[in-house]
Amino acid sequence: MTPYPYPVIVLPGIMGSALRDEYPVSPETVWTPFKLVIKAYDRITAHPDNTRFELVEPARVVKDQLFAIAYSEFVEELRHDLSPQADQPVPVFPFAYDWRQRLEGIQEALDGFIDEVIDRTKLLRHYHKEGYGTAAFPGKVNLVGHSMGGLIIAGYLKDHGDAKVAKVATIASPFRGSLEAIAKVRRCITCCHLSRAMSMPHPVYRMICFCRRAGNRELLIRWHHSSRILGLMRRQTIRSVINKPCSFSRTS
């Protein structure tokens, strides 16, 4: 039993991170889940010849921050509930990512972020005093993933192993695929054939339409539906997973 819980990294679901374009001298937000903010679908659509970049260039669209309405309370409650007292905080870091990109690239970014979190945690006086980063208290993290975040965690463990990971908790992650993703693609295709007056597709459908027009099949086949996070996050369950001793099991 470690003297303190391992630091936690929270990975949101698809479209749970805002996107900003850093090409303008004053960076512009081009995607956010807020309905009152314009979503520039044409500016976030990936280029079919190189999905790391945008269809409309010049641009430099990168991840911004987590969608606060969906995740801030969850992160803050974990910080509060896991910490034994105010002057001994257990770090809980949000990990925003560009959900348009390949999972492999996001996993590499996560690996670097895990190293950063471990190094930052070593600087906390109470963790340093208890020997965090030593054989007695290894430098590891706990990972919590919602929806697509759980898929990123699974891919990370497959490619990088669990040397830096103590425990994992996932929420509504479609490990067996998502039938709703297929339904959304089908509905988008239907909407694309309707007149503009009759067609009022959901933002997900419109994004898929842009992908189809750009020929970006890679992004299409990775698209899945994020379930409503507020009704699925069971904070007590996450706390019990993080505080309960466990070990990974490997299967061939």
Closest CA to 15 of 29, 28, 27, 32: 32
Highest mean pLDDT among 9-23, 120-134, 175-189, 195-209 belongs to 120-134
Single-letter residue type at 26 = S
Q: What is the CA radius of gyration of the chain?
A: 20
Q: Is the pLDDT of residue 230 over 70?
A: no
Q: Give the highest mean pLDDT range of 97-101, 186-190, 191-195.
A: 97-101
* pLDDT, position 5: 95
Tell which wins on pLDDT, 220 or 36. Answer: 36
pTM above 0.85, yes or no: no
Axis-axis angle for helices 68-82, 235-243 (nearest 10): 40
**More confident site: 76 or 238:** 76
Tell me the CA end-to-end span of the chain in Å, nearest whole number.
Answer: 29
| Average pLDDT across the chain, whole number | 77
**Residue 13 CB neighbours (<10 A):** 27
Once rounded to an integer, what is the mean pLDDT over residues 57-84? 91
Residue by residue, DSSP assigns the chain as --SSPPPEEEE--TT-EEEEE-SSSS-EEEE-S-TTS---HHHHPEETTEEEEESSSS--EEEEEE-HHHHHHHHHHHHHHH-SSTTSPPPEEE----TTS-HHHHHHHHHHHHHHHHHHHHTSHHHHHTTBTSSSB-S-EEEEEETHHHHHHHHHHHHH-STTEEEEEEES--TT--HHHHHHHHHHHHHHTS-TTT----HHHHHHHHHHHHT-HHHHHT--PPPPSTTT--HHHHHHHHHS--------
**Which pLDDT band holds residue 27 (cuts at 50, 70, 90)?**
very high
pLDDT of residue 204: 45
107, 156 in Cβ contact below 8 A?
A: yes
Q: Mean per-residue pLDDT for 219-232?
A: 37
- The pLDDT of residue 174 is above 60: yes
Maximal CA-CA distance, the chain: 66
For residue 70, pLDDT over 80 is answered with: yes
Among 39, 18, 82, 93, CA closest to 203:
39
- Provide the pLDDT for residue 184: 53
Is a pLDDT exceeding 70 seen at residue 97? yes
